[in-house]
Amino acid sequence: MTRVVITGMGAVAPNGNGIQEFISNSFAGKVGIKAIKKFDAKPTGITVAGEIDDFDPNDVIGRKAARRMDLYSQYALQSAIEAMEMAEINEINTKPVDMGVIYGSGIGGLTTIQEQIIKMHDKGPRRVSPMFVPMSIANMAAGNISIHFNAQNICTSIVTACATGTNAIGEAFRQVKAGRAKVMIAGGSEASVNEIGIAGFAALTALSQATDPLKASLPFDKARQGFVLGEGGATLVLEELEHAQKRGANILGEIVGYGATSDAYHITSPDPTGAGAARAMELAIKEAGISPNEISYINAHGTATHANDEGESKAINQVFGSDSNVRVSSTKGMTGHLLGAAGAIEAVLTVAALQKGQLPLNIGCFNQDPKCSVNLVTAENSDASNARYAISNSFGFGGHNAVLAFKKWE
């Protein structure tokens, strides 16, 4: 049976632009949530977000190419370039027809959509840019990555709201495991910290109205009041083990399972019983060929909404038992919720946790909700030197549940 390993990772995140900075800051507990600077958000009632404030696409992508991409595509391509440089994949060691792309975004080019609608309203339809459609459509991150790296195998996109990044990596894992590709570039990106993005989620009463960035995203806390919108992207390079070993690649970790289910319950609310989420975890663990008690860590979806955190806690207890020692943390207290990119940046942190033998803390929980009775990661229990397996959960509007199971590379 084909084994699937990770040989490259890249990230652009609110608390770290670049893979090393992102990992280092996340394990140090650095919060990347800050006052919104891109526009005046006060009329929406929302004042903080996980903005990226040190990103210049010209540095990596180049000015000409960047001008033809929405910000979400820029985040995607920059993280993919970083991941591919780490993996050292090229056309000498990998045929273009053996390399594919599965990359997603929850919304796509929302900034471009907003700008062009305003332009049409103010100046008329003839002033709409010819680049409007190719910049805004949600498959274009995958397309741009494929073009940049001449990846000629499958190139497709996943759009499953906040489960997008995890589904994209999971489906890429399937391609390699089934022998359809030797290498897959996978992940998710999002750039929705703009007027319409904030206003839309604020209208759903889904966002935290806190003004203190350190007390805005409170996963599993009794006082949580909604998520903080974030932006960014992350990419994993997945590779057939034999192919990686043959070219002497540095292996970062292994994907051993993937579970995907649907709640079939509601367009925005998760099933309060947690049944669909629990089944996705069970499927990932079953494919890994292990039992739940072998999982040392869960990177939780943990959005800091009342419904998610309580439902996810129930699901975890259904799978692992209410007396389980499995440790749980949501890293959204540091990054905010990156929607379609969330599963990708959290996959990076889960792989890094197994590599480092250290778990990222559940930043933002000051008074744990008794309805969220899971074993949260703290400074006292973050040592994971003996951890071999971990899972990462992502759940999205529409009832999408996706879970990846990772194994430490030994």
pLDDT (tens digit per residue) in 14-32: 999 999 999 999 999 999 9
From residue 83, how far is each of 108, 145, 227, 236, 245 by CA, in Å?
Answer: 21, 12, 28, 6, 18
Q: Where are the beta strands (DSSP E) in 14-74?
A: 16-17, 34-35, 48-49
Crossing angle for the helix pair 140-149 and 71-87, to the nearest 10 degrees: 40
Q: Where are the beta strands (DSSP E) in 199-275?
A: 232-240, 253-262
Mean pLDDT for the stretch of residues 46-54:
95
SS3 74: helix
From residue 65, how far is each of 100, 144, 148 by CA, in Å?
Answer: 21, 10, 10
CATH 3.40.47.10 domain extents, the chain: 4-246, 258-407
Percent of the chain residues topping a pLDDT of 90: 99
From residue 201, how far is each of 207, 305, 373 by CA, in Å?
Answer: 6, 12, 28
What b/e string do you get for 317-337 counting C-beta neighbours within 10 Å, with b at 16 or more? bbbbeeebebbbbbbbbbbbb
Evaluate whether the domain defined by 258-407 bears CATH number 3.90.1150.10: no
* Catalytic residue chosen out of the listed positions 155, 301, 372, 400: 301
Is the distance from CB of 408 to CB of 384 less than 8 angstroms? no
Is the distance from CB of 391 to CB of 285 less than 8 angstroms? yes
- pLDDT of 1 above 90: no
The CA distance from 267 to 279, in Å, is: 19
* Catalytic residue chosen out of the listed positions 162, 243, 365, 372: 162
Residue 337 designated active-site: yes
Pairing of strands 16-17, 48-49: unpaired
Token readout for 15 is 């608390």
Class of domain 4-246: alpha beta
Beta carbons within 8 Å of 122's beta carbon, 6+ residues apart: none
pLDDT band, residue 335 (cuts 50/70/90): very high
Predicted pLDDT of residue 317? 98
Asked whether the whole model's pTM tops 0.75, one would answer yes
The CA distance from 343 to 186, in Å, is: 11
- pLDDT of 88 above 90: yes
Residue 389's closest CA among 279, 291, 302, 261? 291
Q: How many CB atoms lie within 10 A of CB 338?
A: 33
* Catalytic residue chosen out of the listed positions 155, 243, 337, 400: 337
Mean pLDDT for the stretch of residues 48-69:
93
| Size (the chain), residues | 410
User: Tell me, what amino acid is at 353?
Assistant: A
Residue 301 designated active-site: yes
